[in-house]
Structure 1
Amino acid sequence: MQIKKNPKANLENYSKLFMQLGLVLALLVVYLAIEKKTYDRVINDLGIATYNIEDDEQIVEIEQVKPPEQQAPPPPTPDKIEVVEDEKEVEETIIESTETDEKEAVKVERIVEVEEEEEIMEDVPFAIIEDVPVFPGCKGTKAQLKECLQDKITQHVNRKFNSELASDLGLTPGIKRIFVMFKIDKTGNITDVQARAPHKRLQDEAIRVVESLPKMIPGKQRGRPVGVKYSLPIAFKVE
């Protein structure tokens, strides 16, 4: 087969030449890059951009010119100058001394000590009363008087309370409870009776029974008669 392409047009014969030219061009670019000088940009206080250059070159320094200081204006000249004559008398103010003489008597008001009365509660709970109310017929120590009072109130309620009333009201079988609160006042009388029960008639019956308690010797707190609050739970069984 006959070759139609001209052998002189083959570029492979010039590959070495092209490679040498490329190396020379690369070396030239590197050399120019090394020889090129760069400067660091610095912004000073005046807002002017300067450049740091090498020591072998001339550096131009710019001095900041300060404006001249303004002097304060002189004080204004008074419109009129008043001349005071030497013969004019000047009134002197005499300040009296507040120090006392040792010979002078000093009056001291008498100091009266006022005793503060201890505040005592008008009504004291039965659990913290110092001297419990005394039920008629109870005697003994404070502990015995307290136990005797509780026993006598319980016996009085069991004797006076109408237990048949619960069955007449048609309540469901079981244990029913009534909570009663009252006060034994400063004179020993029963006051402020309140009750809570499962039925209104039971509530009224409990109030009636408690109000029928006899008059007692009132309780005392710090040696003074006070009212004593008492709570009484009543429980009964409905069959």
Structure 2
Amino acid sequence: MQIKKNPKANLENYSKLFMQLGLVLALLVVYLAIEKKTYDRIIGDLGPVVLNMDDEEQTIEIEQVKPPEPKTPPPPTPDKIEIVEDEEEIEETVIESTETDEDEAVEVEEIIEVEEEEEVMEDVPFAIIEDVPIYPGCKGNKAELRACLQDKITKHVNRKFNADLASDLGLAPGVKRIFVMFKIDKSGNITDVMARAPHKRLQEEAIRVVKSLPKMTPGKQRGRPVGVKYSLPIAFKVE
């Protein structure tokens, strides 16, 4: 009787497969061996170790203690104690009381009353004066009185100034300007008139016109009459 083998049990059929698996495993082992990182072991040279027991031990310094000095014996007590009388007399200081009796009269030096000096107020510019000088005929509140004063002074100068004087002086054509400064003093009078003009004759004419302004009610600062400084520009055209 012949024994038949199962074709699946024949290992020769799987020889190629086993060879391929072996090659794959071999390649895997070689790859892992190549990729594995290795490090060199470095052992530091510490050199020769010398143990010096003298350095580790602490040095303790011992100070010599001086023996205590012998105490000096106290002086011997005298046999007799003599009492010496103090011949000097002590003068007692008597402190007098500063309190006064109600019946006693106290003399008081004469009291001199010092009069307070009145504050002298200087001249105040027209731009910051509290109460402007009042031109004759002006009425109203502070703003109206200020505007009225300026208008009256301008009209007075235009009416009184001799404009023909400029042409007689032979000045070049154009606009000519004269700057006038004056003060309305504590009494309301026009004082300290000064002018600057392109010609002396024009300067004198401007001073004459300003001095002809009427007397006014003086301006006031903090309720007291003060001098008020006023500046007046005059412009006219010469043809």
TM-score by length of 1: 0.57
Alignment CA distance shift 1:133-1:99 (3 Å): same
Of the structure 1 ranges 91-100 and 138-147, higher mean CA displacement relative to structure 2 is found in: 91-100
Return the alpha-carbon distance in structure 2 between the equivalents of residues 129 and 235 of structure 1.
26
What pairs with 1:43-82 in structure 2 (closer than 5 Å)? none
Aligned to 2:218: 218
Of the structure 1 ranges 175-184 and 93-102, higher mean CA displacement relative to structure 2 is found in: 93-102
Return the alpha-carbon distance in structure 1 between the equivalents of residues 211 and 143 of structure 2.
25
Note the C-alpha offset of 1:91: 2.5
Aligned to 2:74: none
Is 1:94 paired with 2:93? yes
What pairs with 1:225-236 in structure 2 (closer than 5 Å)? 225-236=225-236
Contact 1:136 1:216 in 2 (8 A): yes
Superposition RMSD on alpha carbons, in Å? 4.1
Runs (5+) with no aligned partner, structure 2: 1-83
- Could you tell me which amino acid in structure 2 is paired with residue 142 of structure 1? K
What pairs with 1:109-188 in structure 2 (closer than 5 Å)? 119-188=119-188
Note the C-alpha offset of 1:101: 8.8
Which protein has the bigger strand share? 1
Alignment CA distance shift 1:94-1:131 (3 Å): same
- Could you tell me which amino acid in structure 2 is paired with residue 153 of structure 1? I
Contact 1:124 1:227 in 2 (8 A): yes
Note the C-alpha offset of 1:116: 6.5
Moved over 4 A (4+): 97-105, 113-118
Contact 1:120 1:221 in 2 (8 A): no
Contact 1:182 1:191 in 2 (8 A): yes
- Could you tell me which amino acid in structure 2 is paired with residue 138 of structure 1? C
Return the alpha-carbon distance in structure 2 between the equivalents of residues 176 and 184 of structure 1.
26
- Kindly provide the CA deviation profile for residues 173-209 of structure 1, in whole angstroms up to 9, marking residues without a partner as x: 2211111011111111111101011111110000000
Q: Percent identity?
A: 75
- Could you tell me which amino acid in structure 2 is paired with residue 204 of structure 1? E
Return the alpha-carbon distance in structure 2 between the equivalents of residues 189 and 160 of structure 1.
18
Return the alpha-carbon distance in structure 1 between the equivalents of residues 90 and 208 of structure 2.
94
- Kindly provide the CA deviation profile for residues 6-50 of structure 1, in whole angstroms up to 9, marking residues without a partner as x: xxxxxxxxxxxxxxxxxxxxxxxxxxxxxxxxxxxxxxxxxxxxx
Return the alpha-carbon distance in structure 2 between the equivalents of residues 130 and 194 of structure 1.
24
Alignment CA distance shift 1:115-1:141 (3 Å): farther
- Kindly provide the CA deviation profile for residues 157-178 of structure 1, in whole angstroms up to 9, marking residues without a partner as x: 0010011111111112221111
Return the alpha-carbon distance in structure 2 between the equivalents of residues 201 and 103 of structure 1.
84
TM-score by length of 2: 0.57
Contact 1:134 1:218 in 2 (8 A): yes
Return the alpha-carbon distance in structure 2 between the equivalents of residues 104 and 91 of structure 1.
35
Alignment CA distance shift 1:130-1:98 (3 Å): same
Return the alpha-carbon distance in structure 2 between the equivalents of residues 94 and 201 of structure 1.
93
Alignment CA distance shift 1:87-1:120 (3 Å): closer
Please state whether the residue corresponding to 1:181 is helix, strand or coil.
strand
Runs (5+) with no aligned partner, structure 1: 1-84
Aligned to 1:192: 192
Return the alpha-carbon distance in structure 2 between the equivalents of residues 135 and 195 of structure 1.
22
Note the C-alpha offset of 1:99: 6.9
